[in-house]
């Protein structure tokens, strides 16, 4: 991470005290701090506001385009300037706080409106049980929302002890004021992977360089549902028809119990015997009583994780490991939408699972971090950047966007061409992340447009995205509540579609099988 350096660039007189102005390295000043005695006076030039904060808090504006993070040993404050375009303050608050319906984990203490310094502030206070596997767990929460014009300023506080015992919260508004921003936002760019610094075995380094090196051409992977049951008949049919062998195979796994995954070894061995490397995905499940992520961070799944990591380590061959994908989507139980609006929970979960692979000495795991193409809800606190666990934990950046078609047109579903889905996403990710990019799963449905032409356009467009090193087609279906096919993503809908894939899955993209 680029160092945050303090540069005294002028005198700002306030309370007869000089302000120290801070900037990210190589950028103009983003904020200043003034010692006022009891508190520090913090001014954010990017979002245009000033307020009192606790003394000696570490300021993190690595992603000042999204929000500001303030933290000391027992408290963390996240501040977001949320545009209310397309929503209202009430809609924003109600959508953001739906996690409170999980009363098994979240204990509501207070909810109401208070007037402070002339501002009407919506306050919500809650707590959850401490998590035994999280160091210095901050399990007491308060969220304060203040609307000014077309923006809602969100003050999200978490602490190791009840907020009232940690200095309260009213001081945040005692001197709060806004002004027109004077500095452009900053977004930290991740660091590229140095293969020589990775604790990988030679086979895994070779695999990474082959498929994810700077000069690597695009490789195609596939999700074929029957392979989950060790039936490679359909995959063999595709490969024979296309005259192309997919070296990467998407496979999903879950926390099926608290002791050991029932068939992980068989999955890995079968894929390897068929010349495939797995894009092995691990996700938590929904459960009736509380959120499984909390259970994992309380040690209930330690045996499962030890066994899982041990099996992968003993397998020895390269594994593309994808943990908790699409975490910025409200449909995922591990999304902060379902865990106190707290993206730190996901990062703790990610790093905790990572630690088991380290303990087991796994030297064959390539870590994929994979947000969804868009955040749901699309609020700053749920922004994909808030989930980024850190460069050392990410070897590949995953991308996911589907053309879902128009089966649910009555709910606003629309047909999207490939470049609509991926052009902005590609250039945005390319500007934020230096790790190689991978479309971990994607496809086009059939209803609502010309799927054949969509696939042709996809092949022609993706050839221009040279930082995308692997793309995995999801050859399956989504079903509606009555068991009808809602979205058909399969490749063998017609001979003409099969022939399109056959035409384009060829040199120079062909790279052969892995094993």
Tokens 């909810």 locate to: 111
Q: Tell me, what's the pLDDT at 515? A: 54
SS3 263: coil
pTM across the whole model: 0.94
Determine phi and psi for 278, rounding to 5 degrees: -85, 135
Q: What is the DSSP letter of 502?
A: H
Give the separation between CA 443 and CA 471, rounded to whole angstroms: 10
Q: What is the DSSP letter of 392?
A: G
Give the separation between CA 487 and CA 461, rounded to whole angstroms: 23
Non-local (6+) Cβ contacts of 26 within 8 A are 2
Tell me which of 326, 348, 360, 384 is the catalytic residue: 326
Give the separation between CA 373 and CA 428, rounded to whole angstroms: 11
Q: What is the DSSP letter of 444?
A: B
SS3 394: coil
224 is catalytic: no
Tell me which of 78, 245, 279, 441 is the catalytic residue: 441
Q: Is 118 exposed, middle or buried, given 0-12, 13-18 or 19+ CB atoms closer than 10 A?
A: exposed
Q: Tell me, what's the pLDDT at 442? A: 99
Q: Tell me, what's the pLDDT at 511? A: 53
Q: Tell me, what's the pLDDT at 331? A: 98
Runs of H (alpha helix) within 195-330: 202-212, 233-242, 264-273, 292-296, 302-315
Non-local (6+) Cβ contacts of 254 within 8 A are 282, 283, 284, 285
Q: Tell me, what's the pLDDT at 3? A: 32
78 is catalytic: no
Residue 416's nearest CA partner among 441, 445, 393 is: 445
Q: Tell me the pairing of strands 219-223 and 19-24.
A: unpaired
Give the separation between CA 475 and CA 224, rounded to whole angstroms: 5
- Alpha carbon 325 to its chain centroid, in Å, reads 7
Q: Which domains does the chain have, with CATH numbers?
A: 4-178 (3.40.1000.10), 199-504 (3.20.20.80)
Non-local (6+) Cβ contacts of 217 within 8 A are 508, 509, 511
Q: In the numeric block, which tokens belong to residue 485?
A: 């096919």
Query: How many helices (H) does the chain have, and how many strands (E)?
Result: 11, 23
Residue 439's nearest CA partner among 429, 431, 454, 450 is: 429
Non-local (6+) Cβ contacts of 154 within 8 A are 78, 79, 80, 81, 82, 143, 144, 145, 380, 381
Give the separation between CA 215 and CA 223, rounded to whole angstroms: 25
Q: Tell me, what's the pLDDT at 14? A: 37
Give the separation between CA 217 and CA 212, rounded to whole angstroms: 8
Residue 327's nearest CA partner among 273, 385, 366, 275 is: 385
Give the separation between CA 252 and CA 246, rounded to whole angstroms: 17
Strands of 128-218, DSSP E: 140-148, 151-159, 177-178
Q: Tell me, what's the pLDDT at 26? A: 56
When computed from its CA atoms, the radius of gyration of the chain, rounded to whole angstroms, is 24
Q: What is the secondary structure of 352-370 as a DSSP string? A: HHHHHHHHTT--SEEEEE-
Q: Mean pLDDT per segment of 10 residues, for the chain of length 515 residues?
A: 32 50 75 96 98 97 98 98 98 98 98 97 99 99 99 99 96 98 97 98 98 96 97 98 97 98 98 98 96 99 99 99 99 99 99 99 99 98 99 99 98 97 98 99 98 98 96 97 96 98 81 54
């Amino acid at each position: 991470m680029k160092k945050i350096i303090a540069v005294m660039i002028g005198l700002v007189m306030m309370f007869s005290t000089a302000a120290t102005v801070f900037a990210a390295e190589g950028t103009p000043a983003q904020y200043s701090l003034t010692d006022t005695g009891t508190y520090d006076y913090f001014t954010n030039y990017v979002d245009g506001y000033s307020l009192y904060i606790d003394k000696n808090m570490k300021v993190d504006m690595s992603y000042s385009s999204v929000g500001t993070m303030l933290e000391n040993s027992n408290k963390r404050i996240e501040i977001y300037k949320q545009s209310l375009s397309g929503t209202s303050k009430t809609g924003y608050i109600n959508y953001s706080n739906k996690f409170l319906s999980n009363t098994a984990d979240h204990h509501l203490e207070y909810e109401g409106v208070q007037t402070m310094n002339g501002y009407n502030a919506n306050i919500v206070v809650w707590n959850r049980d401490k998590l035994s596997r999280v160091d210095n767990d901050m399990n007491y929460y308060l969220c304060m929302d203040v609307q000014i014009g077309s923006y809602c300023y969100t003050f999200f506080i978490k602490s190791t002890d009840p907020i009232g015992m940690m200095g309260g919260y009213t001081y945040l508004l005692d001197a709060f004021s806004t002004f027109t921003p004077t500095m452009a936002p900053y977004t930290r760019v991740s660091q590229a992977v140095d293969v020589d610094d990775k604790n990988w075995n030679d086979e895994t380094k070779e695999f990474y360089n082959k498929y994810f090196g700077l000069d690597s051409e695009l490789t195609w992977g596939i999700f074929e549902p029957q392979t989950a049951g060790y039936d490679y008949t359909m995959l063999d049919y595709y490969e024979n028809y296309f005259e192309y062998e997919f070296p990467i195979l998407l496979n999903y796994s879950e926390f099926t119990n608290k002791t050991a995954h029932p068939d992980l070894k068989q999955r890995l061995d079968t894929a390897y015997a068929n010349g495939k490397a797995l894009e092995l995905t691990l996700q938590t499940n929904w459960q009736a009583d509380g959120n499984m992520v909390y259970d994992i961070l309380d040690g209930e799944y330690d045996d499962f994780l030890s066994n899982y990591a041990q099996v992968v380590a003993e397998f020895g061959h390269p594994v593309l490991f994808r943990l908790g994908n699409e975490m910025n989507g409200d449909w995922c139980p591990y999304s902060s939408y379902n865990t106190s609006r707290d993206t730190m929970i996901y990062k703790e979960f990610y790093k905790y699972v990572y630690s088991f692979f380290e303990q087991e000495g796994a030297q064959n795991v390539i870590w994929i971090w994979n947000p969804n193409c868009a955040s749901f809800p699309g609020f700053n606190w749920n922004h994909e950047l808030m989930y980024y666990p850190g460069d050392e934990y990410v070897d590949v950046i995953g991308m996911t966007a589907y053309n879902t078609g128009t089966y649910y047109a009555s709910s606003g579903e629309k047909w999207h061409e490939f470049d609509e889905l991926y052009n902005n996403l590609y250039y945005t990710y390319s500007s934020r992340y230096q790790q190689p990019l991978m479309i971990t799963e994607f496809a086009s449905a059939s209803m609502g447009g010309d799927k054949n032409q969509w696939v042709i356009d996809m092949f022609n467009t993706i050839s221009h995205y040279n930082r995308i090193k692997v793309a995995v087609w999801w050859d399956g279906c989504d079903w509606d509540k009555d068991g009808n096919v809602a979205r058909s993503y399969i490749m063998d809908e017609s001979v003409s579609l099969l022939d399109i894939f056959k035409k384009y899955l060829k040199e120079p993209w062909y790279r052969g099988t892995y094993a």
